[in-house]
Structure 1
Amino acid sequence: MSLDAPLPRRRHGERHRSDRGNALRAGVLGANDGLVSTASLVLGVAAATPDASAVLTAGVAGLVAGAMSMAAGEYVSVHSQADTQRADLERERAELDSNRPAEHRELAAIYEERGLTPALAAEVAEQLMQHDALGAHARDELGLSETSRAQPGPAALISASSFGAGAALPLLAVWAAPGDVLLPAVALSTLLFLALLGATAARLGGASALPGALRVTWWGAIAMGATAAVGALFGAVV
C-alpha cells in the first residue's frame, strides 16, 4: 500500500451515515458560523447606527472575512491531521520492513481481542498481511480508512462555501427589511434558519431533529443578544 494510495474502505454496497461524517461536520459548522457570526455582526452594527448601508457593508465584509478564515483554519487543521496520518503510515511501513513477525503478532493480538481464537487470529493476520500488510495495519491498528482520511482541500472548500451560504441569509434580511424593523427581521429570520439547520443536521446524522434545532437556536440567540447589547451600548456612548 503506497502512502499516497487510498486508505482501506468498505467493499460492500451499503452506505452509512458515518461515511459522510467529515463533510457533514464541516458543512454544518460552516453554515452555523456564517449564520451566527454575520447575524450577530449585523445586529451589533444596526444597534449602534441606523445607517442601513453601513450595516450591509459590515455584513458583506464579515461574510468575506469569515469565509476566508474558515477555509484557512479548516485547511491548516485538517492538513495537520493528514500529516499525522501520513507519519503514522510511514512509521508502520518501517516497522513492517524491519520486524514483520512482530507486526504479525501485533495484528493477531488485535483479532484475538475482538473474539477470534489464537489460531484463527494468526491465520487471518497472515492472510491479510500477504494481501496488503500496510493496509491491514492502517485499518485495524491505526484505525485509518477512506472515510476517516483527512482531506484538507475539500474540507476548506466545504467550510468556506457553507459559511458563505449561511452568512448570506442575514444579509438578505438586511437588504429586504425596512430600517424600522431591521433588528427583529434579522433576529427572527436567523433563529428560524438556525432551527432548520440544526434539525436538518440532526436528521442527516440519524438523531432527533428537535434537540438539534434547540441547541443551535439557543446558542445563536445568546450570541446575537450579546452582540446587539454591545452595539447599543457603544452606539449610545459614541
Structure 2
Amino acid sequence: MALSIHVNGGTEQKQFQEPVENPEFDYSQRGQWLRAAVLGANDGLVSVSSLLMGVGSVKQDVKAMVLAGFAGLVAGACSMAIGEFVSVYTQRDVEMAQMKRDGEKRSPVVDENDRRMEKKERLPSPGLAAGASALAFSVGAVLPLLAAAFIRDHKVRMAVVVVVASVALMVFGVVGALLGGAPVAKSGGRVLVGGWIAMGILLLGLLG
C-alpha cells in the first residue's frame, strides 16, 4: 500500500507493506499430545461420572461416592499415564528403527544427519503424551467429583453429575476441535454422544 507524504511542497512516495500472514500452521504437530489430552479428559470424565452414578444408585451417602470417585481418579490417572508412555515409546522405537533402515539404504550425503535429526524432532514424545494424558484425566475426573461433593440431596446430586458431565463433554470436544483446526460442531457432538453411550454402558455394567 503506497502513502503520499507532502514534504516542502513536494510529494514523497513511501511504500508501506501490509504485514504478511504467517504460513498455515501445521496442526499435525499438536497431534502427539492433543490426542492423549482429549482421550484422557474424556476417559476421566466418563469413567468417574459413571462410577459416581453407580455407587450413588446403591448407596446415597455422599462420602462413599466421593471416596469411590477419588480412588477412580488416582488409579485412572496413573493407568492412563503408564499406558500412554508405553504405547508412545513403542511407536517411537518402531519409527526410529524404520528411519535407521531407510538411512542405510540411501547413498551417503552431506545433509543425511540433518534430515535424520529433523525427523527425530517430529517423533512423538512419550513423556509429553503421558503427562498430557494423566493431567487431562485428572481434570476430567475432578469435575463430577466437585459437582457431587457439595450437594446434600441425593437426587439433585445425581442429576447435577449428569449435567456437568454432558456440558464438560461438549466443552472438551469443542476445545479439541479448536486446537486441532477441526469442525467445532461436529467434534463437540461426536464427543458428547460418545460420552453418553460410554457412560450408559459403564453404568449398566456397574449395576448389573
Residues in 1 aligned to 2:203 and 2:103: alpha-carbon distance in whole angstroms: 55
Query: What residue in structure 2 maps to residue 63 of structure 1?
Result: 73
Shift of 1:91: 2.2
Q: Which has the higher contact order (CA 8 A, sep 6+)?
A: 1
Shift of 1:87: 1.3
Shift of 1:135: 4.6
Query: What residue in structure 1 maps to residue 3 of structure 2?
Result: none
Aligned runs of 1:7-156 on 2, under 5 Å?
14=23, 15-96=25-106, 100=107, 129-130=109-110, 132-136=111-115, 144=119, 146-147=121-122, 149-156=123-130
Query: What residue in structure 1 maps to residue 144 of structure 2?
Result: 170
1:135–1:67 Cα change, 3 Å: same
Q: In the TM superposition, what whole-angstrom CA distance separates every residue of 1:45-103 from its partner, at most 9, and x where no partner exists?
A: 1112112111111100000010001001101100101111221233234334xxx2xx8
Aligned runs of 1:187-202 on 2, under 5 Å?
187-202=162-177
Query: What residue in structure 1 maps to residue 131 of structure 2?
Result: 157
Contact 1:31 1:166 (8 Å CA) reproduced: yes
1:184–1:84 Cα change, 3 Å: same
Contact 1:89 1:138 (8 Å CA) reproduced: no
Higher strand proportion? 2
Query: What residue in structure 2 maps to residue 206 of structure 1?
Result: 181
Contact 2:32 2:125 (8 Å CA) reproduced: no
SS at match of 2:182: coil
Shift of 1:177: 2.1
- Return the letter of the residue paired with 1:206: G
Aligned-residue CA RMSD in angstroms? 2.1
SS at match of 2:168: helix
- Return the letter of the residue paired with 1:188: V
- Return the letter of the residue paired with 1:227: L
Q: How many residues align?
A: 185
Query: What residue in structure 2 maps to residue 126 of structure 1?
Result: none
Unaligned stretches of 5+ residues in structure 2: 1-21
Residues in 1 aligned to 2:104 and 2:141: alpha-carbon distance in whole angstroms: 47
Contact 2:44 2:136 (8 Å CA) reproduced: yes
Matched, 1:183 2:158: yes
Query: What residue in structure 1 maps to residue 13 of structure 2?
Result: none
Does 41-50 or 85-94 show the bigger shift?
A: 85-94
Shift of 1:218: 0.8
Shift of 1:191: 0.2
SS at match of 2:202: helix
Residues in 1 aligned to 2:72 and 2:171: alpha-carbon distance in whole angstroms: 22
Contact 1:187 1:224 (8 Å CA) reproduced: no
Query: What residue in structure 2 maps to residue 112 of structure 1?
Result: none
TM-score, length of structure 1 as denominator length: 0.71
- Return the letter of the residue paired with 1:39: S
Residues in 2 aligned to 1:160 and 1:137: alpha-carbon distance in whole angstroms: 30
Residues in 2 aligned to 1:40 and 1:94: alpha-carbon distance in whole angstroms: 52
